[in-house]
Amino acid sequence: MTVNPAFIPKELTDVYAPGNYDSNCSILACNFPTGTSVEECSNFMSWIGPVVFVEEGPSLQREANFIVVYSKPEFAVKATQEELVFNEGCRVHCRFVDAKPTVWGNITNFFQGIDQQYGASDQISNFINDTAAPAFYSTSNQVNEGIQNILSSDVSNQMAQGFSNFSNQIKESVAYATNSLYSPM
């Protein structure tokens, strides 16, 4: 069963930006003729903008697909919007690469799954309010009490007295220096 070349980008999933490249600058370019090299793809795609990196992408039916990284997101956007025709009338179809999975994304998906399973976000909100919020409130109260204890402790009073004494010594030194410099000899 052959897939319509226009649908190849949608059929290929879990295609991510290579290495540490920006996913906003990275696209999947599909439906190059079999045997197209990375260099040929890079040369062709550089008509749109400066290409930083190209690597071979996954294939559905022996077509050549590539992950192309541009120097700026604007060029990637342009590549996804243009009608591109490679040698001999072969249409190239582009889309952005998929977002890399993250821990935060996994947590969000987890809670969305719970929400769908139990049917109401009110239940989740109540769960969070009943468990997480009191723990946070208790911790913040403990921190606040600790700060109050430090401020009212002898150490705090001793530090305040020390700063006051130091300030008085500076004032006396400045007054003495002023009198010494400007007093008649």
> Do both 91 and 137 map to the same domain?
no
pLDDT tier at 3, thresholds 50, 70, 90: confident
> Do both 79 and 119 map to the same domain?
no
Encoded tokens for 132: 């997480």
Point out the domain boundary residue: 44, 67, 96. 96
pLDDT tier at 44, thresholds 50, 70, 90: very high
Average pLDDT in the 91-112 region?
78
Average pLDDT in the 17-46 region?
94
> Do both 64 and 139 map to the same domain?
no
For residue 164, the Cα-to-chain-centroid distance in whole angstroms is 48
Q: Domain for residue 185, yes or no?
A: no
Q: Domain for residue 92, yes or no?
A: yes
pLDDT at 93: 94
**What's the number of domains the chain is made of?**
2
Q: Percentage of the chain with pLDDT > 70?
A: 63
Its pTM surpasses 0.75: no
> Do both 16 and 90 map to the same domain?
yes
Residues pairing with 64 in the sheet? 32
Encoded tokens for 15: 């295609």
> Do both 11 and 90 map to the same domain?
yes
Q: Answer for the pair 29, 16: CB distance below 8 angstroms, yes or no.
A: no
Q: Domain for residue 184, yes or no?
A: no
How far apart CA 18 and CA 59 sit, in angstroms, is 16
Looking at residue 72, its amino acid is: K
Q: Domain for residue 143, yes or no?
A: yes
Is pLDDT at 120 greater than 70 in this prediction? Answer: no
> Do both 136 and 151 map to the same domain?
yes
Output DSSP code: residue 13: -
User: Domain limits at 148?
Assistant: 103-178
pLDDT tier at 39, thresholds 50, 70, 90: very high
pLDDT tens figures, 123-178: 656 665 565 555 555 556 666 676 676 666 666 666 667 777 777 777 777 777 77
> Do both 92 and 113 map to the same domain?
no
Of 44, 46, 43, 93, nearest to 70 by C-alpha is: 46
Q: Domain for residue 122, yes or no?
A: yes
Point out the domain boundary residue: 96, 114, 136. 96
Buried b (16+ CB within 10 A) or exposed e, 127-159: eeeeeeeeeeeeeeeeeeeeeeeeeeeeeeeee
Domain at 57, CATH number: 3.30.70.330
pLDDT tier at 108, thresholds 50, 70, 90: low
- Which of 7-11, 103-107, 175-179 has the weakest average pLDDT? 103-107
pLDDT tier at 104, thresholds 50, 70, 90: low
> Do both 66 and 129 map to the same domain?
no
Average pLDDT in the 19-31 region?
94
Q: Domain for residue 126, yes or no?
A: yes
